Every structure is written in C-alpha cells, then in structure tokens.
Structure 1
Amino acid sequence: MELGFIGGGQMAQAMITGLLQNDSTQKIYIHGGASNRTEAYAASAGIEYLPSNEAVVAASDIIVLAVLPQQLKAVATEIRTKIADRVVVSVLGGVSLETLADQLGYDTLILRTLPNVNVAVNSGMIAIAGNNNLQRHPEAREQVRSFLGTLGSTMPLPETEFSTFSALAGSSPAFIELFVDAMAQAGVKHGMDKDMATQIVAQAMIGTARMIQTSPQSPRDLAAAVSSPGGSTIAGFLAMEEAGLTSAVVKGIDATITKDQSVE
C-alpha cells in the first residue's frame, strides 16, 4: 500500500510516527506545509519527500489530507482531477463530507476522520465517517480501515457527533495530562521526586484504563470498589468532589464542544 500525506503538521507527523513504529511495510510519501521543514522532517523520518501535491497523489493509493482547513480549496484545485480511484482520508477539523466532496469532486472516495495525538504510539482513538461512494467500495473501505487500525481504535460515528468526539478523544489527552501533572505535584508536595511521581501516576492511569475497557462494571462502580468505608480513598474522593471535580470536567467538555462547533 502506498500512502501519501499532503500536509506535514503535527497530526500528519503523529500518524507517520505511529505507522513507522508499527514496523509498517507501506511506502510513505509527503509534501506540503513549509517545504524546507517538511523536507527535513521526511529525511529524518526516513520517508520520501515529493516536490508537489500532484506527485504525492500520483504515487499513492491512499491520500491523507492533513492541511489547514483554509488551505483545502487551493489543494483541491491542484489534485481534484487526479484522484480517481484513490481514497482521500481527511483529518481536517470541522470540514464536513459535503464540503470535501464539493471541493474534491462528488465521485471521490472520501473518509472523514478525527484522530487524536495518541496515534503516535499506536493507541489513538479515531472517529470515522465515509461518504456514499466509499460505502459502495468495500475493498477500498477495508483497505483504509486496516491502515487506520494500525494507529489505534476506529469508531464509526455520524458527523453530528464529531464535536463531542473531539472533546472526549481529541482534546482529552491535554486534560488527562493536566490531571496527571496535578497528581504528580501533590506527590512533590509530600516529598516525592516529580519524575517518579509522574511515572507512578501514568502507570496507574494505564492500568485503570485497561480495567475500564475490560470490566463489565461502570467507572463509578470500579471507583466504589476501591473506596473502603472510612478509608483514605473515599476521603480523597469526597475532597475532590467538594472542590468541584465533576463539575469542572463537564464544564471543560462543554466549552470544548462549543468552541469546536463555532468554527465549523
């Protein structure tokens, strides 16, 4: 499989990192962004930098469109007549399938995606929504889902739920990292080295995520199971709730969704 990236920003690089860490045998091409920076990145990553977007399309079976949304029209003008029989995977935030089809052509096979940065460690969460053309081509659909599957978990969603997904999966790594840092700072307050405290909390987070994924119990029930009556865990739990933990999280998600919807 030949993969072509148009755009060399953070998400494109995160996806490429995940593909390379997965010992991928796919050939990867890239063009876009600030050409000198993208060319230097390609050389450091061991992938092939091509001189134009048209060259990337010509070389690729799957094209990952990873430019800024405001660059879509200019890029589409360059590649629109050259993408027949290829799948275009869009990671453009806030750009609908209808807009993509209008710019790229209504015969184009398009998959709109919303990955998070954890694709860089093959643990991403990726929302996907394909247009009708892609649905009518099961082989192409399976090919692109296989490619994305190397980067993490995929979840088919209606486009109306992409803003909520963006908050829960796209923005949440930043929120979780802040929570980990806050826990680690508490460890420092009580005399522990910051790096050690961070590693302890991060590993606890990994194990807890695995428990949530594999247990039939809800996260709230799992929390209750380790909160012994009169114990230290329930004391900490109640102190966090008194300080507004749940309310703060919900307000943060609300604000993220509101902002995301305002730029669509």
Structure 2
Amino acid sequence: MKIGFIGVDAMAQAIIQGLLKAKLVPAENVLIHSAHQRHYEDYANEYGLTAKDTNLAVTEASDLIVLAVVPSVAKKVLAEIRSGLSDNKVLISIVSGISLERLAELTDYNLPILRSLPNINSEFGQGMTAVVANENLTGEQKDQALSVFEATSEISELAEDLFPAFSAISGSAVAYIDFFIDALSRAGVKYGLSKAAATKIAAQTTFGSADALMKSGQTPAEMIDKVCSPGGDTIAGILAMENAGFLSSVVKGIDATIKKSTGK
C-alpha cells in the first residue's frame, strides 16, 4: 500500500510521523509533494520518504491520496489530480470545510472518498479523528483508508453536520487543554515551583486524569466526586472556579470557535 500526501503542512507531518512510528507502511511508500519544493524534498530526505515532482505524480503512484492543502487552493489542486484518480484509489481529505458532496463534484462522482478531521496529537499516536465516508468507499478500501488514522489516533465516525462541533472540542481543544495546563503551571510558579517542574506536574496530571477517565468508564462528574471529600480543599477549589465562570468560559470558547469556522 502506498500513501500519497498532497501538501506537507503541520497536520500532514503529524500524520506522517504517526504512520512512521506505527510502521504501517515502509517510509519509501509514503509519497509527498507540496508547493514548496525545497521544504518537501528536504523533509522527504530526512525521513526516507519518496518525493514526487507534481501532485499528479503523487496521485498516479498512490493507493490512498491524502489531500492536505489549505481550503483556498483545494479546487485548483483537485483539478490538477483529477485525471489520476479512479475507483481503485481513495481520496482522503483532511481539508476543513469541504463536504463530501463538494469533493465528489470536484473529482468524480464514483470516486471512493473519506473526509476526515484529525488533530495534531496524531504525531504521537494519541490523536482523535472524525471520519465520514461516501457510499463508494466500502470493504477493503475503507479498511485501508481508516488504517491511516487507526495507526495514529482514535476514530469517531460522525455525520458531517457534527464536524464543526468535533473540530472545536478536538482540533482546537488541543490548544485549549494546553492553555489549561499552562494556567495550572503558572499557579504552581506562584506558590514556589519552577515553571518546568510545574508544567511537568500539570501535564502528567492532565494526561493521567484523561487516561483514568477513559479506562474507568465513569463520567467526569463521577471522577470529580471521587476526589472531592466533604468540606475539603478540592471542592473549595471547584466552587471557586465555577464562581469565576469556568464552565461558561469554556462553552463560550467553543461557541466562538464554531462561529468562526462556520460563519454562523
């Protein structure tokens, strides 16, 4: 199986690094091209990937074609590669805001297509990816397409109308969670910890809490109750955060993210 990447932005690189670490395919079976020749050739040489001279060359030589360009150039790029697409290849789009219907209009109505929204944590095998397939993507082809993300992340198959919400609480939320970790670490500095020590403590606690939540099968509220003893310091902190508008601030942040991405 050969996987081609058209565009080598930060998200594409995160997926590529995740694939290499998972050893899903040999490095030379990852084909790349981007508009910036020196950048993509240097990147290919560094990791043993195969650099191609054109987007069409990537398409013709690949079984799975990952479209990883900015939305403003997607139409132009799809026109470039259209002649190299066929029903024995799969187009995987990680371009935000372009629907399955529009992707089909710009390529071929019989083309197997997977629309996806990965997040940047895919680089470390800890990503979260939303996917939706068109009716032409089935069986072994669908399994192959999903394997790209299964190697680097957890997968959630969602209806397209839920993609903006997913993007906010998964894609953008990576930054929001890091923002929260940074806030915890700054509070630690206030009380005498070094920034490095406080950041390590806060990050590991966040990671451990998420892992425990996933493994326990309990709700976040139930996990909170396990830590909050009656009249204790933790419940005092929870109430102080809530009085300061913690929950409403988070929801307003998500509202702003979705409004910006959808224009609604």
TM bucket (normalised to shorter chain) is over 0.9
- Checking the alignment, whether the CA contact within 8 Å between 1:125 and 1:152 is kept in structure 2 is yes
Cα offset for 1:171? 0.4
**What is the match of residue 17 of structure 1?**
17
Counterpart CA distance in 1 for 2:213 and 2:96 is 28
**What is the match of residue 177 of structure 1?**
178
**What is the match of residue 222 of structure 1?**
223
Identical columns (%): 44
What CA deviation, in whole Å up to 9, does each residue of 1:153-194 have, x standing for no partner?
A: 111000000000000101000000000000000000001011
Q: For residue 129 of structure 1, give the secondary structure of its aligned residue in structure 2.
A: strand
Counterpart CA distance in 1 for 2:198 and 2:11 is 29
Cα offset for 1:239? 1.0
Q: For residue 38 of structure 1, give the secondary structure of its aligned residue in structure 2.
A: helix
- Checking the alignment, whether the CA contact within 8 Å between 1:33 and 1:67 is kept in structure 2 is no
Please report the TM-score for the alignment, with normalisation by the length of structure 2: 0.96
Counterpart CA distance in 2 for 1:57 and 1:221 is 49
Tell me the amino acid that sits aligned with residue 158 of structure 1: A
What CA deviation, in whole Å up to 9, does each residue of 1:83-129 have, x standing for no partner?
A: 11100000000000011000011111100000000100011100000
Tell me the amino acid that sits aligned with residue 53 of structure 1: N
Counterpart CA distance in 2 for 1:60 and 1:120 is 22
CA RMSD, 1 decimal:
1.2
**What is the match of residue 140 of structure 1?**
141
Counterpart CA distance in 2 for 1:214 and 1:40 is 41
Counterpart CA distance in 1 for 2:202 and 2:112 is 43
**What is the match of residue 193 of structure 1?**
194
What CA deviation, in whole Å up to 9, does each residue of 1:206-260 have, x standing for no partner?
A: 1111121122321012101111111111111111111110010000011111111
Tell me the amino acid that sits aligned with residue 75 of structure 1: V
Cα offset for 1:72? 1.4
Q: For residue 140 of structure 2, give the secondary structure of its aligned residue in structure 1.
A: helix
1:1-264 pair list within 5 angstroms: 1-26=1-26, 27-84=29-86, 85-134=88-137, 137-262=138-263
Counterpart CA distance in 2 for 1:180 and 1:254 is 21
- Checking the alignment, whether the CA contact within 8 Å between 1:18 and 1:120 is kept in structure 2 is yes
Q: For residue 136 of structure 2, give the secondary structure of its aligned residue in structure 1.
A: helix
Residue correspondences, number: 261
Counterpart CA distance in 1 for 2:148 and 2:74 is 23
Tell me the amino acid that sits aligned with residue 57 of structure 1: T
Tell me the amino acid that sits aligned with residue 212 of structure 1: L
Counterpart CA distance in 2 for 1:164 and 1:81 is 34
Tell me the amino acid that sits aligned with residue 103 of structure 2: L
- Checking the alignment, whether the CA contact within 8 Å between 2:31 and 2:50 is kept in structure 1 is yes
Q: For residue 30 of structure 1, give the secondary structure of its aligned residue in structure 2.
A: strand
Instruction: Using the TM superposition, name which of 123-132 and 66-75 deviates more.
Output: 66-75
Q: For residue 172 of structure 2, give the secondary structure of its aligned residue in structure 1.
A: helix
Tell me the amino acid that sits aligned with residue 71 of structure 1: V
- Checking the alignment, whether the CA contact within 8 Å between 1:127 and 1:154 is kept in structure 2 is yes
Counterpart CA distance in 1 for 2:220 and 2:124 is 24
Tell me the amino acid that sits aligned with residue 159 of structure 1: E
